[in-house]
Structure 1
Amino acid sequence: MSEIDATLLKKLEENFAGRFVRKDLTARIKEGANVPTYVLEYLLGMFANSTDDEVIEQGVQRVRATLANNYVRPDEAEKVKAKIRERGSYTVIDKVTVHLNTTRDRYEASFSNLGIREVVTDSKYPEEYERLLSGGIWCIVRLSYFFEEESGNSPFILEKLDPIQIAGLDMQEIYDGRKNFTTQEWMAVILRTIGLEPLEFTEREQLLLILRLVPFVENNYNLVELGPRGTGKSHGYKELSPNSILVSGGQTTVANLFYNMARRQVGLVGMWDLVAFDEVAGINFKDKDGVQIMKDYMASGSFARGKDQIQARASMVFVGNINQSVDVILKSSNLFEPFPDAMSGDSAFFDRIHAYLPGWEIPKYKPAFFAKDYGFITDYFAEVMRELRKQSYSDAFDKYFNLGDQLNQRDTIAVRKTVSGMVKLLFPDGIYTKEDLEKILSFALEMRRRVKEQLKKIGGMEFFDVELSYKDKESLLETIVPVPEQSSNTLIPNGRPKAGQIYTVALDSQARRCAYSIESQMTGGNGKFAKTGISGHNDAKEAMDNAYRYLKKNSGEINANLHLDQQDLVVNVSNMNNLDMTKELTIPTYIALVSIALNRPAIESLVVLGDFTLNGSVKKVDSLADTIQVAFDSGAKQILLPSQSLSELSTIPDNMQNQLTFIPYDTVETAAIRALGFK
């Protein structure tokens, strides 16, 4: 054990005696026991809570023996019932829920795996262990059997009950204990609690892993994590807490998730603190209004069913796989692409996401990543997280920072929720510095900006305000928080392109705005004109032919020495977003031909917009703001556009206008002259 780990273990022993366990023991027993991790670790905490190897080994054997002899497996329930009857009494491990039978004025217990109900229960148990009444507790229970036909009671009798989950919690223990750990040490304890070795991850990766826990501590928090397979995206929502549920397969109903009208019973969002959807691509509501109800719930924590307005606090988590590199996806689509069709084009749905965790930044798990040192007993930490839901630190940064002007109300709510959740996890005692808050605030803004960047791709100018920022109240310095993957998403390189190459933005055949590269080559010949990259697209072919014919007819307007009948020209068009072809190619093709014919490249980082008719009349650009947005995102610094479109520049945000140079043209010839920098 390293000196750092020895120091951390000493602090755990001094501040959280009996609340921690060695994490590699869980993996050893888990392989042969289909029992939740939080139950397993509670047993380890009872029998193997020591630093002495011999004591630990004895404890592990006791845990195994206890599970083998007493844990009730659902498929063996009848066998266990028979044992109770034949032996007179028997001890079982099962999840027990207690309710008050008001008709008979008594408490009755239900056993989850054993499948028995209405077992008369002494009132001292629900009084001492309140969680029996709200969701149930895994317990060691001594049951006996006595059948009395006339009594109408269950023949099973509860003799003794001992919880094997945390039945009570003193949060003061957490508040007092946290003060004795540095932030780095506390993060290490949290990561080992969830089974990961902190020394194997960078600080950035550690923060991302801790962000996965925010839905456990924050009410009505909506999180998305998409990334490659093998990074543990869904594991925690199934194993780390008895208060969360992982919905596998994606098929669900409004009745199951929200409210069953027939039974007048709230669904999963009312029963659990967190509902996670595994494999978002498979999410499918049998009900037509399912997505709309989900949107309402994600926005307000409530939904309407019949005449009732139902409130619930469950957080929503969406996890799934991304099968391509992020760079490729950003060029061809958006980072919400894996969602099903019912959601993928719905900007209002995605606008309700508070944070997008970049799962591609978390490395694929390997054996060295799993913790072998000490962390909190999972069930203990699960209860700590549940208790933290009652607090809020959403205003924690208000003393030091203001949010920037580009944050709307939903952005503000999202950022405050993320900040609150991260503060609860890292500083549950509420003691933090300005530097701590600045790091968390910047992190929260990035997670929300990732959502906004994708909304901009889906919804256009409505979501253009993506430069989320914060302002230091003391220095008045404003910091715009970037999104790492966006900085590498420049399609149009800096500097002048090679001669014959032109960039444009236009609608493809599916009405999607895309960036296109037009490249031309010229060799000696007899006036042949070839086109590549447009196979099967007759509209594109016709537009390029029109551009060539216009140039041949009016070449003297550009340069008297252009002899196109002595040259062979080839023009290739490619969609830089890997999507479909466009027919808006007359102006860019014309300029590309002039550029190669004169061996003169276009000016730096230029995007050419516009189209012209057979007689050379220049057309106005449709939806100029959205078109320029795509050009700007693709790396353009200068925009060549028809003069009649200048009146629409007022629809473009000032910050984007300030970063672009707009070059107008009235005629086809003027467009070529200005694109090539002649004047």
Structure 2
Amino acid sequence: MSALDDKINEHFAGYVVRKDLVKAVKGNAIVPTYVLEYLLGQYCATDDEASIESGIETVKEILRKHYVHRSEAGLIQSTIKEKGRYKVIDQISVSLNEKTDSYEANFENLGIKKVAVDSGTVKAHPKLLVTSVWCIADVQYEFSEEARTSPWVIETIKPIQIAKVDYEGYKEARGQFTSDEWIDLLMQSIGFNPDAFGRRSKLLQLMRLIPFVERNYNIIELGPKGTGKSHIFSEFSPHGQLISGGEVSIPKLFVNNSNGRIGLVGYWDVVAFDEFAGREKTANKALVDIMKNYMANKTFSRGTNPMGAEASFAFVGNTDHNVPYMLKNSDLFEALPPQFHDSAFIDRLHAYLPGWEIDVIRGEMFTSGYGFIVDYLAEILRHLRQEDFSNRPDMHFKVSEKISTRDRDAIYKTMSGFLKVIFPAGDETAEDVEELLQLAMESRKRVKDQLFRIDATYPDVDFYYSGSDGEKRRVQTVEEQEFPQFYYLKPASDPKQQDQSTDGADVVIDAEQAPTDATRGLKPAKPLAEEGHHVFSENRKGVSYDKLFGPYLDGASRIIVTDPYIRYFYQIKNMMEFVEMVIQRKAPEDQVAIHLVTGPDDGNVQKQRELLESITEACTGSGVDFTWAFDGSGTVHARDIVADTGWKIVLDRGLDIFQAPVRRDGFSLSDRLQEHRMLKNFYVTYVRQN
């Protein structure tokens, strides 16, 4: 176990489980993760290996004996008849039979219907009236000669969820973890290995939890297939309901006029719409109108009396094109059905999570570490819905007064959600708040910038905040920095601006630079060797050594690279790619000397020497002479590149600007082309020395 796993078990004993155990017990049982972890939490909530092994066998036996497979429904029915009573794990829904004035249950997999349920059970678990709920139930068989009487009877029924949690104890235990440790614990709790994700990518994953802690929060995530967009909503919590975008109706979602019964929004904390995108899809206009009213006002009405609810909406779907295509030809909402590609609907979204920044889920991204039993965490998140942390950022920062009330509310709701998830006890620092505030503002800015494209009547808003020094700090989206040549195009309705679309010329953009009316939609210039300081956001793509360094190294005969961390294989590979860049840019007849000053890898210095020497050998006959040396003093901390062209390039991360690659078989563009790799957050400063 890792040090973090030890700490998790120390402070949350009984509420955590080793996440790889889910696969060990699932077999061919098609049940949500929270059902399996509920059972694992009963028998495997420990770090004792012997107890875990015994618990796994117990859970497997419970699933084998009591989980109902559709193909074995007849056998289970026979078992209930012969034994008179039997415990089953199944999806159960309840409806009112108005002819007999009684409640009747339907068992999804067992295939039995019209099973009598007493009123007390329905009152205790009203969700059974709305949709199917996973339950453990004792079913009896009592044959009656009365044809209208079902022989099936429910003795007890219990939805699979933890009944009570100690919220104060949870907050107190949170204080034993640093913010980094806590974020990693949450990542492991949703099943992911935190080492496979960068800081921003972790926060984007946790952003999917905000609908569970914020009432009436509306979020959309559009991106490529296979990134796990719907996983949280289908597997993570018994308080969320995932429905297909095309399988929802007004009675099911809001209220049934015939009987006045409220729909899903009245019983679930989160209603998620899967496969929401698709230009060929159609939606009921009346449904769209009611959704827009509910998203804005938290109320809906199909009769005379308005009704309120607290369910958050999450919309997830796949994009048809990549980001630059959408920015050049349409907008980032282009994949939505026509009825939802509507400015009034889009404006009611509090955040747009950029699904294109999230990697396709691979086996090595899952964790074998410890995390919260998801049902325990789901109950904690549900409790947090009662809290309001939206004003806490005001202690450190002031959001621009020029943005609209709707924009401000969206930013504060996202901030409140982040703070509840990561800092439930309220011990965040100004630095913590700023990191989350930037992401919250960016997530709303992504919505507002696309509204400006879709509907020219929407004003162009300058998103910024200020700290105690009063200095304005502007916020940009990652795609805004990556594709400025397309991002600032005027709305498609303006043909004059469309004629100015560009060919995607390379440009290095200052992350602090705000667009002006003069620069929107105009073609950027080729990069020049100029002094300046540039900041690059995590998860951005489209950057290479050639773009960053090439213009400053052209014509150089000697280049010195100082970077104490050229140690691991991928870091030495970065050095080789830097050398390749110089070879490709120089004239064939020119000679260039490249010298590296680095630090020794105490763990495996011999392998480090061999790899560095292999670069020297590879350069033979190329016109580049590569040499290297360990820093004699052992105290070098600088990371810079100095060329005899008169330029010094200072980098806070040295050459290690790309997120570490994930080893796997097969091919990947990110292995071959630097522009297709995600960046770490870093800065570069260009200084002319003479």
* Fold match by TM threshold 0.5: yes
Aligned CA distance change for structure 1 residues 429 and 507 (closer, same or farther; 3 Å): closer
Task: Indicate the residue corresponding to 1:634 in structure 2.
Answer: 522
Q: Secondary structure at the match of 1:371?
A: coil
Aligned CA distance change for structure 1 residues 10 and 127 (closer, same or farther; 3 Å): farther
Give, in angstroms, the shift of residue 162 of structure 1.
6.4
Task: Indicate the residue corresponding to 1:331 in structure 2.
Answer: 328
Q: Secondary structure at the match of 1:93?
A: strand
Mapped partners of 1:193, 1:172: distance in 2: 20
Mapped partners of 1:99, 1:410: distance in 2: 40
Task: Indicate the residue corresponding to 2:316 in structure 1.
Answer: 319
Mapped partners of 1:514, 1:297: distance in 2: 36
Residues 247-262 of structure 1 aligned to structure 2 (within 5 Å) = 247-248=243-244, 250-262=246-258
Contact 1:240 1:382 (C-alpha < 8 Å) held by counterparts = yes
Q: Deviations over 1:443-479 (max 9, x none)?
A: 11111111111111112252211x212222x322221
Task: Indicate the residue corresponding to 1:481 in structure 2.
Answer: 475
Give, in angstroms, the shift of residue 157 of structure 1.
4.9
Q: Deviations over 1:184-242 (max 9, x none)?
A: 11111111111111111000100011001111111111111111122111111111112
Task: Indicate the residue corresponding to 1:522 in structure 2.
Answer: none
Higher helix share: 1
Q: Secondary structure at the match of 1:341?
A: coil
State the TM-score, normalized to the length of structure 2: 0.67
Task: Indicate the residue corresponding to 1:385 in structure 2.
Answer: 381
Task: Indicate the residue corresponding to 2:446 in structure 1.
Answer: 450
Q: Secondary structure at the match of 2:321?
A: coil
Structure 1 residues not aligned, in runs of 5+: 494-503, 518-574, 579-627, 638-679
Contact 2:489 2:521 (C-alpha < 8 Å) held by counterparts = no
The one-letter code of the counterpart of 1:339 is L
Q: Secondary structure at the match of 2:360?
A: coil
1:214 aligns with 2:210: yes
The percentage of counterpart residues that share the same residue type is: 41
Contact 1:96 1:112 (C-alpha < 8 Å) held by counterparts = yes
Mapped partners of 1:183, 1:506: distance in 2: 41
Aligned CA distance change for structure 1 residues 274 and 139 (closer, same or farther; 3 Å): closer
Task: Indicate the residue corresponding to 1:523 in structure 2.
Answer: none
Aligned CA distance change for structure 1 residues 169 and 149 (closer, same or farther; 3 Å): farther
The one-letter code of the counterpart of 1:409 is T
Task: Indicate the residue corresponding to 1:525 in structure 2.
Answer: none
Contact 1:515 1:634 (C-alpha < 8 Å) held by counterparts = no
Give, in angstroms, the shift of residue 417 of structure 1.
0.5
The one-letter code of the counterpart of 1:328 is Y
Further displaced range: 447-456 or 48-57 = 48-57
Aligned CA distance change for structure 1 residues 635 and 348 (closer, same or farther; 3 Å): farther
Give, in angstroms, the shift of residue 490 of structure 1.
3.3
Structure 2 residues not aligned, in runs of 5+: 505-515, 526-690
Contact 2:283 2:339 (C-alpha < 8 Å) held by counterparts = no
Task: Indicate the residue corresponding to 2:67 in structure 1.
Answer: 71
The structure that has the greater radius of gyration is 1
1:199 aligns with 2:195: yes
Residues 141-540 of structure 1 aligned to structure 2 (within 5 Å) = 141-147=137-143, 155-158=151-154, 164-248=160-244, 250-282=246-278, 284=281, 287-344=284-341, 346-460=342-456, 462-465=458-461, 467-472=462-467, 474-491=468-485, 512-516=495-499
Contact 2:265 2:310 (C-alpha < 8 Å) held by counterparts = yes
The one-letter code of the counterpart of 1:312 is A
Aligned CA distance change for structure 1 residues 83 and 419 (closer, same or farther; 3 Å): same
The one-letter code of the counterpart of 1:475 is D
Aligned CA distance change for structure 1 residues 86 and 428 (closer, same or farther; 3 Å): same
1:17 aligns with 2:8: no
Further displaced range: 210-219 or 263-272 = 263-272
Further displaced range: 280-289 or 249-258 = 280-289
Q: Secondary structure at the match of 2:485?
A: coil
Further displaced range: 442-451 or 245-254 = 245-254
Further displaced range: 355-364 or 105-114 = 105-114
Q: Deviations over 1:100-147 (max 9, x none)?
A: 999999999775544455546696x89999998998864444433334
Mapped partners of 2:126, 2:442: distance in 1: 40
The one-letter code of the counterpart of 1:470 is Y
